[in-house]
Amino acid sequence: MKPLRIDFVERPPWCLPTSPRARATLIALATVLLLLGVALAWTALQLGRELEEASRAIAWTRQELFARTPPPPPPLVLSERQLLAINSAIGQLNTPWPAMLDGFESVATADIALLQIEPDNRRRLVKGVAEARDHQRMLDYLAALGSAAPFARAVVTKQEINEQDPNRPLRFAFEALLAEPAAPAATPAVIPARARDGQ
Amino acid sequence: MPVLAGQVLVAEERLPASASAALAAALPGLTGRQPETPGPAARNRSLIVTVDDGLARSFVVTPPRGTRGLRELRATAAARFATLYGASADDWLLVGDWHARVPFIVSGLPRVLYQALQQLALTNGWRLDSVSPAFVRVWNGLGASIPANGWLLVGFGSTLTLLATGDDRIAGLRSLRLPAAPDLAALETLLEQEILRAPAQLERGRQALLWAGAAEWLPVATSLAGMASRTIACRALASNAGEASTAGQLALAGRSR
């Protein structure tokens, strides 16, 4: 039969009588829990220490990284002259030589001797020097050149009679304006608004 | 270990309440009778009190169906006390082996007596460790020897407590104060009467008797009232219940002169 738990002295729960086996079990359990608690506390302490070390290492590495990283290069600021030079170089590179030469080729006649051509990319024209037998032939040539493919028009800038030549040809300098290009590839790559306004 | 078993402390038989009052009044005088004078060594010792079953009022309570909580069980026990004894349980300290589904035993002790015991412990510097009725001490001391179906008869001083068990549970409890030491025939008559009062479902054929306690009149018989009987004398009841560290163990036997 189960023991009767009848006692007029009311004891607090932790003072209730327990069997020796239960008490031993409780003590063992408490010991295990205590050990577990100590182990947990130790682990927590270790973890905290490791965390602190890791954060310190991270901070050190960050400082080191900052010290070793070269300063960022200053933004590229070009002077007006540099810009103009670059733009002219790009313009020269973009000069439509084949079309230009085809244009000259198409209007070439035996009456006109083309002595020199020199592109001026800034003004989008080609300067040239040629010799003609007479005025009429010069005008015909310039009219033909002005209507040839890459050119919009051609005007004479200077003319003189070459006295040293026994045939006394008419030497003239002209400017042939290039037509506006349809393709954007022909435009200069670097044209800041400031540089364009300056023109 | 001072054991005051058998001290004549109570002479009243029919009025346990006044007996308790008389006992409570007599308790302070107990101090001087201690074999050991309370000194520094006697401090912090525990006091274990075994109360005569005639001083306490013990009864079986069947918990109502659907009981929830100790509060309801206490209320049920108090109501049962009032029904059985026709008086309010307010002046009694009720303690039970509380159970929500199966019948359990509730014991009541006059608060006056309990307070006197507390005062006694306080004045002597003892710690009141345990106060239990005698049959509880005997029951807990016997353990597995108690018949699962049958009767445990606890004789202590001039009180006989009959505990009926059935199917490993308590079925009934009754304490009788005997006018004089009974002989075997008187005990058999008492038992027969009690069996007639017991619930009908207790099968008599398979029942066994166990006599236990510290009374001198416990029968030594192998068969009684048609049931197998054996007797376990608990003369060392005090030492069963209390450990060697107890300062004083009072067995308030209440044996009449």
Q: Quick check: B92 contacting A, CB < 8 Å?
A: no
Cβ atoms of B210 and B145 within 8 Å: the answer is yes
Residues of A in contact with B129 (CB under 8 A): 9
Q: Quick check: A67 contacting B, CB < 8 Å?
A: no
Q: How many CB atoms lie within 10 A of CB A173?
A: 15
Q: Which CATH number fits domain A96-190: 3.40.50.10540, 3.30.1360.100, 3.40.50.720, 3.40.50.2000?
A: 3.30.1360.100
Q: How far is CA B192 from CA A6, B156, B209, B226, in A?
A: 28, 20, 12, 10
Cβ atoms of A8 and B92 within 8 Å: the answer is no
**Are the Cβ atoms of B95 and A8 closer than 8 angstroms?**
yes
Q: Quick check: A9 contacting B, CB < 8 Å?
A: yes
Q: Chain A closest CA to B109's CA: distance in Å?
A: 8
A3: nearest CB among B96, B130, B143: B143
pLDDT of amino acid B31: 56
Q: How far is CA A158 from CA A130, A152, A166, A167, in A?
A: 11, 19, 21, 19
Q: Which two tokens stand for residue A187?
A: 């435009």
- Cα–Cα distance measured from residue B80 to residue B70, given in angstroms and rounded to the nearest whole number: 15
- Interval B138-168: pLDDT, tens: 898 888 888 888 889 998 888 899 999 888 8
Q: Where are the domains of chain A?
A: 20-67, 96-190
**Are the Cβ atoms of B93 and A8 closer than 8 angstroms?**
yes
Q: Chain A closest CA to B211's CA: distance in Å?
A: 15
B105: nearest CB among A6, A7, A8: A6
CA A113: distance to chain centroid? 48
**Are the Cβ atoms of A7 and B131 closer than 8 angstroms?**
yes
pTM of the model: 0.55
Question: Which long-range contacts does B219-226 make (Cβ < 8 Å, 24+ apart)?
Answer: B219/B184, B219/B187, B221/B184, B224/B184, B224/B187, B224/B188, B224/B191, B225/B188, B225/B191, B225/B192, B225/B195
Q: In a structure prediction context, what are the per-residue pLDDT tens digits for chain A, which is 199 residues long?
A: 888 888 898 877 776 666 678 888 999 999 999 999 999 999 999 999 999 999 999 999 999 999 999 888 888 888 899 998 888 888 788 888 888 888 888 888 888 898 999 888 778 888 999 999 888 999 999 999 888 878 888 899 998 988 888 888 899 999 999 887 655 444 445 555 454 444 4
Cβ atoms of B36 and B249 within 8 Å: the answer is no
DSSP SS3 for A160: strand
In degrees and rounded to multiples of 5, residue B77 shows phi and psi of -65, -40
B132: nearest CB among A1, A8, A10: A8
pLDDT of amino acid B122: 87
Q: Quick check: B53 contacting A, CB < 8 Å?
A: no
pLDDT at B253 over 50: no
Q: Which two tokens stand for residue B133?
A: 């009725």
A6: nearest CB among B97, B143, B165: B97
Q: Chain B closest CA to A32's CA: distance in Å?
A: 30
